[in-house]
Chains A and B, each alone.
Chain A
Amino acid sequence: MKIALAVVAATILSAVPALAADGAGILKSQCAECHALAQPERQDLDHIWNRKGPDLFYAGVKFNKAWLAKWLENPGRIRPAGEFYEKHIKRGDPNDVVDTASLTNHVKLSAADASAAADELMKLTGPAGLVEKGAFKGQAVAAAMGEMFFNKLRGCGACHQSKPDAGGSSGPELYTAGARLQPDYIYAYIKDPQKLDPHVWMPTLPLSDPDIQRLAGYLIQLGQAEGGK
């Protein structure tokens, strides 16, 4: 009897790992078709045009894990004009518009799969030195000052939304950036988007360190406020 129970217990225990979601397998089957999970050999303009979603080979230094797991379970649209934006716009009257019919919804994962995929994505840290640790100094920014810099003084609002439906649509919305992205990544991306994502349609602007600290601080606070909604 004791032996039989031990066999049953051993069988159950050995089955437990098999029940856990396979993060690496999920990335391979669900993500790899649209996202680069390893650094592409050629990060040229054609790569930007041909990919269907942002590169994820440095997801581990980009995303906040808790946000990632939650979003994979219930993905909303981050890029109003999709990726690559030029393929999802059409001529309109008077101005070009997003061709919403051409946009597809992101794959949705179960809670267990989302958590496993997030765990696996956080292991992808990309080449050393891509994002400098501790670059963001944690500066608090008065919301009105941050908004003025974001929209009026530095022109970020031309392509990005800092509130739902307020701002440009060729870049990702940034009202949830502070919830989804790591502070040092936000700093690094504002400083030199071309270093992280060569040939991306966001320019590298001649911004001073205080400028970048201020914009990063503003976005982080904005994300915390929006993330709580």
Chain B
Amino acid sequence: MPRLPMLPVALAVLSLGLLRSGSLLAAEEQYARAIKNYETYCVQCHGLGRNGKGVNTPPMSVQPRDHSDPKIMGDIPDDQITRAIKEGGLAVNKSVLMPAWGHVLSDAEVTEMLAYLRHVCNCGTGK
């Protein structure tokens, strides 16, 4: 079995780690306002884990969307997500329990939220 030189391997692993934490930091920065808004308005139902398991969910007749699910989120087009955020669940034939946030979030904040949701589900543009 060929032996790998220890130092270059260690450096490669270290730099990969730094790159990874760097990209995480960049993501945090890029989505900072969306994350703050999500933590303020969305986690009460969609959960700290972005998994639809918020503190309000136990008595709900319809469970909130799991934003971490790439399959389900990937099937929803961008315009439908935008409309659900701005006009509420009923506007997209979903539950009234999802309220309209269009009077709270600006259009720019909704656009940022959409981009953040795509980052959370890691599921592309949905187009």
List residues of chain A with CB under 8 Å of any chain B CB. Answer: 45, 48-49, 81, 85-86, 89-91, 94-98, 152-155, 157-159, 166-170, 192, 194, 199, 201, 203-206
Q: Contacts A95-B58, A158-B60 given: A199-B40 contact, CB under 8 Å?
A: yes
| Interface residue B79 (Cβ < 8 Å from any Cβ of A) | no
User: Please, which residues of chain B bring their CB within 8 A of the CB of A48?
Assistant: 40
Main secondary structure of the interface of B (DSSP, over half): loop
User: Please, which residues of chain A bring their CB within 8 A of the CB of B49?
Assistant: 91, 96
Nearest 3 A-B pairs (CB), nearest first? Answer: A168-B56, A170-B44, A204-B103
**B104 and A204 form a contact (CB under 8 A):** yes
**A85 and B55 form a contact (CB under 8 A):** yes
CB distance from A205 to the nearest CB of B (A): 6
User: Please, which residues of chain A bring their CB within 8 A of the CB of B40?
Assistant: 45, 48-49, 86, 199, 201
User: In the bound complex, what is the Cα–Cα distance between A152 and B61 (angstroms)?
Assistant: 9
List residues of chain B with CB under 8 Å of any chain A CB. Answer: 36-37, 39-41, 43-45, 47-49, 53-60, 88, 95-101, 103-104
User: Please, which residues of chain A bring their CB within 8 A of the CB of B60?
Assistant: 158, 168
**Further contacts, 9 of them, CB under 8 A, given A45-B36, A85-B55:** A86-B39, A95-B47, A95-B53, A97-B55, A155-B98, A168-B45, A169-B56, A203-B99, A205-B88
**B104 and A94 form a contact (CB under 8 A):** no
User: Please, which residues of chain B bring their CB within 8 A of the CB of A158?
Assistant: 45, 56, 60, 97, 99
User: In the bound complex, what is the Cα–Cα distance between A168 and B97 (angstroms)?
Assistant: 11
User: Please, which residues of chain B bring their CB within 8 A of the CB of A89?
Assistant: 43, 48, 55
**A168 and B59 form a contact (CB under 8 A):** yes
**B59 and A166 form a contact (CB under 8 A):** yes
User: Please, which residues of chain A bring their CB within 8 A of the CB of B100?
Assistant: 203, 205-206
Chain B's closest residue to A95 (CB) is B53
